[in-house]
Amino acid sequence: MTSTVAPLRIGNASGFYGDRFDALREMLTGGQLDVLTGDYLAELTMLILGRDRLKDPGAGYARTFLKQLEECLGLAQERGVRIVTNAGGLNPAGLADAVRKLADRLGMAVRVAHVEGDDLAARYPDALAAHAYLGGFGIAACLDAGADVVVTGRVTDAALVTGPAVAHFGWGAGDYDRLAGAVVAGHVLECGTQATGGNYAFFTEHAPEKLRRPGFPLAEIHGDGSCVITKHPGTGGVVDVGTVTAQLLYETHGARYAGPDVTARLDTVRIGEDETGDDRVRIEGVRGEAPPPTLKVGLNRLGGFRNEVTFVLTGLDIERKATLVREQMEAAFDEGNAKSRPGELRWDLARTDHADASTEETASALLRLVVRDADPEVVGRALSGAAVELALASYPGFHVLTPPGKGAPYGVFDDVYVPHGAVDHMAVLHDGRRVAVAPAHDTRVLEDVPQPTLPEPPPDGPTTRAPLGLVAGARSGDKGGNANVGVWARTDEAWRWLAHALTVERFKELLPETAELGVTRHVLPNLRALNFVVEGILGEGVAAQHRFDPQAKALGEWLRSRRLDIPEVLL
């Protein structure tokens, strides 16, 4: 049944804490909107805000948002745009109160509401922060009551879109297909300019001036849950099937994309260019199912202290120089007292050197030592002493990028799960009334979708050894200690080859760092895509900085650079 309610135009002005400061103003002045969202939270952000709150109990929210709002609250009021943001972080009530004080100071009557109940720190006293991922119905309750600004803590990123859609269209908890469509729209919008050409695999196909300053995305959501992804006219960037596909695959796992309100079936998503204009991509056909019986809870705790030093190895005998300094450092730790040896040491040699190089820098390799321990003195003084004492006693040309300083604390992220009813999801309205948000009534245990039938493989023909990225795009990211790499083809012919060629075994061959790890492949034929989930490659999460690329942001680009035999007809 077609909805008679006008589409909801909802934009995004932030993909992370630290995103473009002027985006709020750009989105408010660039074109018509009904709702403007801002996503400020990530696993690492929650740790940062937790440390802020240790120093100041009144802190714990994204202060940048308040500064942005000081410039733009009047604009939002003039244009009738409602603002929904998770910038409340660990202290949504504190940020809501700060927004009210800002409005009073500016002489404006603004109705500010907030959502709470995600904070489960009392259950997990050893955690610096413990927050359940809430859904969108608390946001909807605030908007239904007339709020102009809604502040949340840890809701799912997509909830910033599903909440306004529920309020606008009057959807109920059982409208799973419609809710799933809004979740997919929210997932596309949540990372801001990643949907409009930012971090895009095929960026070289677009003029550089078009990508220098991508505009932020918006979605025109319809009552049946379908949407059109676009951006304001005249802004930079590009919205096409490729940019939207890339973001759909970002930080997802299997075909079932679970959330607190609904499980969206990513294998049902249909996307295509919208015929009504440029930079318009239609998403439709999304099916939804009841959410799982539990809510995800993100736990952030302090894991200990870390420090690092990078030795510069120049010219000849790189491997032997690396061996010498490594043995010297290990001996220095062993010769000290038992407390001077860090609990964990990790060595990585990056062969950035070139033979017969024309500059000293390009003649040099980098040997990186990372140490971790529960004692800050061990990763501070012990590492610094051992490294500095080698200044005149090690390999020829010895120097380091920077002398090691004091040890810095690092965080660890875990996720656990609790029943829906274990969380007191509460909408605190602008007039102070508190409205309890009912937990999901119907739930469905999350199961993997059976692997779909693969397309017929292409006929045999001549092949050429070439980089995978010539025929496939990729985008990768982090989920706790795991990483995902979404890989997609842009034509049916390339998909027929990719679906058969890029197996788990081939994936591990191309990315040797994953060879000993668990890797699961999920097939998404509608998107002509494969999604690989790599277990444990990020250790204890981004805050632990386990590897060179701690959020796996470039894992997909590494994969695209690897060479394999590709049918010449595709090249």
- The pLDDT tens digits of the residues spanning 381-407 come to 888 889 999 999 999 999 999 888 888
Question: Does an H or E element contain 24, and which?
Answer: helix 23-30
- DSSP letter for 451, please: P
Identify the pLDDT of residue 336: 65
Answer yes or no: do 500 and 561 share one domain: yes
Identify the pLDDT of residue 3: 60
In 333-446, where do the E strands start and end?
Answer: 344-350, 364-373, 399-400, 408-419, 426-428, 434-436
Q: Is 443 part of any domain?
A: no
Of 412, 447, 480, the residue that ends a domain is 412
DSSP β-ladder status, 112-116 and 8-12: unpaired
Question: Does an H or E element contain 385, and which?
Answer: helix 383-388
Identify the pLDDT of residue 327: 96
Answer yes or no: do 116 and 68 share one domain: yes
If one counts the domains in the chain, the total is: 3
Answer yes or no: do 267 and 357 share one domain: no
- DSSP letter for 38, please: E
Low-confidence ranges of the chain (pLDDT < 70): 1-3, 336-339
Answer yes or no: do 424 and 510 share one domain: no
Q: Is 446 part of any domain?
A: no
Please state, in angstroms and rounded to a whole number, the distance separating the CA atoms of residues 41 and 63: 12
Please state, in angstroms and rounded to a whole number, the distance separating the CA atoms of residues 121 and 115: 16
Answer yes or no: do 207 and 331 share one domain: no
Contact 42, 68 (CB under 8 A): no
Answer yes or no: do 419 and 375 share one domain: no
What range does the domain containing 381 cover?
Answer: 303-412
CB atoms within 10 A of CB 92: 28
- Residue 473, token pair as written in the block: 């795009």
Please state, in angstroms and rounded to a whole number, the distance separating the CA atoms of residues 484 and 534: 6
- DSSP letter for 72, please: H
Identify the pLDDT of residue 340: 76
User: In which residue are the tokens 């239609």 written?
Assistant: 282
Answer yes or no: do 513 and 367 share one domain: no
Identify the pLDDT of residue 4: 82
Q: Is 1 part of any domain?
A: no
Please state, in angstroms and rounded to a whole number, the distance separating the CA atoms of residues 541 and 478: 8
Identify the pLDDT of residue 1: 43
Please state, in angstroms and rounded to a whole number, the distance separating the CA atoms of residues 539 and 503: 24
Residue 524 half-sphere exposure toward CB, CA atoms < 13 A? 29
Answer yes or no: do 28 and 165 share one domain: yes
Identify the pLDDT of residue 338: 55
What's the CATH code of the domain at 406? Answer: 3.30.70.380
Please state, in angstroms and rounded to a whole number, the distance separating the CA atoms of residues 415 and 153: 17
Of 401, 436, 471, the residue that ends a domain is 436
- Residue 48, token pair as written in the block: 């940062």
Contact 129, 47 (CB under 8 A): yes
Answer yes or no: do 71 and 200 share one domain: yes
Answer yes or no: do 188 and 96 share one domain: yes
Q: Is 40 part of any domain?
A: yes
Please state, in angstroms and rounded to a whole number, the distance separating the CA atoms of residues 175 and 170: 10
Answer yes or no: do 290 and 320 share one domain: no
Contact 484, 476 (CB under 8 A): yes
Answer yes or no: do 406 and 422 share one domain: no
Torsional class of 251: left (φ above 0), alpha (ψ -120 to 50), beta (otherwise):
left
